Amino acid sequence: MRKLIVVTGGSKGIGRAILEKFAGQGFDVVTCARNETELADLEKSFRKAFPDIQAYTFKADMSEKLQVKAFTAFIAGLGRSVDVLVNNAGYFLPGEIVTEPEGTLESMINANLYSAYYTTRGIVPLMRQNKSGHVFNICSIASIKAYANGGSYAISKFAMLGMSKCLREELKNDGIRVTAVMPGATKTRSWEASDLPDERFMTIEDIAETIYTANALSPRSVVEEIIIRPQLGDI
Ligand SMILES: NC(=O)c1ccc[n+]([C@@H]2O[C@H](COP(=O)([O-])OP(=O)(O)OC[C@H]3O[C@@H](n4cnc5c(N)ncnc54)[C@H](OP(=O)(O)O)[C@@H]3O)[C@@H](O)[C@H]2O)c1
């Protein structure tokens, strides 16, 4: 039986690169996003690029608890164990705590934290059956460093790092590893408006490669935290 990776928010950006890396190594893949057309395009291009694996997609707004639960129920319905979960879906709203529009914190916590919390609660029981698995939480440099205009996004990402630490402690005796990934600026649509040169950003492929390598270690080791920045530093 092929291994299975679940990546939330995998239709583009970092999530897409992770799916492509693992699919290239023979994993079946499951992902979700809000845009159904982009999910259909993903299935089509994976059928062509990776004919030996199965790619499953599911339309869900991961800010909505009920939709997260529908997504994890879909995965449970596949009747398989999950080898790797990447809590990746999320986005950045710039702002400052005192002046950002009211509701920004709720939006950021729903999309960036509760999405991961409820996905984890749905998927970890499937890992426990096998006493193995690996959960990656895509946090951010904003999980460890405050910066201008970070606002509620940074609050949500600090919380995600906290969740990762708690989860690692809870799952260590189940053979399930937990890794917090804290990338700096990575060239995706989040940075479309920036006129900085590409060299100032990391590539999505480098993030995917790092995650693949951390997962490939023997079960005796866990890479607890990955801090990865552009060679020229934060933007
Ligand atoms: N790029 C960076 O510099 C950077 C740095 C540090 C951390 N991160 C983190 O990395 C993760 C991925 O970011 P990215 O830059 O790759 O973003 P991206 O290119 O905008 O891709 C985001 C992916 O998540 C999906 N998504 C977003 N909101 C969703 C929701 N509510 N429900 C379901 N799917 C959702 C998007 O599809 P739909 O829009 O169709 O839903 C898309 O597939 C985020 O958690 C982000 O905070 C990014």
pLDDT (tens place) for every residue of the chain, 235 residues total: 899 999 999 999 999 999 999 999 999 999 999 999 999 999 999 999 999 999 999 999 999 999 999 999 999 999 999 999 999 999 999 999 999 999 999 999 999 999 999 999 999 999 999 999 999 999 999 999 999 999 999 999 999 999 999 999 999 999 999 999 999 999 999 899 999 999 999 999 999 999 999 999 999 999 999 999 999 999 9
The answer to whether residue 194 is domain-embedded is: yes
Distance 9 CA to ligand 1 centre (A): 6
Number of domains the chain contains: 1
CA neighbor of 137 nearest in space, from 71, 84, 201, 69: 84
Q: Is the Cα dihedral 55, 61, 62, 65 positive or negative?
A: negative
Q: Is 91 in the pocket of ligand 1 (CB under 6 A)?
A: yes
Q: Is 4 in the pocket of ligand 1 (CB under 6 A)?
A: no
The answer to whether residue 205 is domain-embedded is: yes
Q: Is 133 in the pocket of ligand 1 (CB under 6 A)?
A: no
**Which amino acid residue places its CA nearest to atom 8 of ligand 1?**
140
CATH number at residue 160: 3.40.50.720
- Show the DSSP H helices in 36-150 as ranges: 36-49, 65-76, 104-108, 115-128
CB atoms within 10 A of CB 231: 7
The answer to whether residue 125 is domain-embedded is: yes
